[in-house]
Amino acid sequence: MLHYFIETLGWVASVLIVGAYFLNIQGRLDAKDPRYVWANLIGGLFFVVNTYYHGAYPSALVNVVWVLIAVFSLTRRRTI
């Protein structure tokens, strides 16, 4: 059951990050919009869990940095 939960987190992460990027490229969601940053933060967290679970430590580290960038962005704007 845990395996399916972790896989679901990975798929949700993919949708959040790629979806936010798609909306940004289409001009429908600005990169400074808190919704864009939150999608990246949550997606990044979910990817950290998924990649760590699968032993993909380099990818997990990239996503930890991704999350830290999002947190920095939100705290700088005081929108957390």
Q: In which band, very low, low, confident or very high, does the pLDDT at 80 lie, cut at 50, 70 and 90? A: low
**Tens digits of per-residue pLDDT, 9-21?**
999 999 999 999 9
Distances (CA, A) of 67 to 6, 16, 42, 76: 18, 13, 8, 14
Residue showing tokens 């990246």: 40
**Tens digits of per-residue pLDDT, 24-65?**
999 999 999 999 999 999 999 999 999 999 999 999 999 999
pLDDT, average across residues 61-70: 97
In the prediction, which pLDDT does 61 show? 97
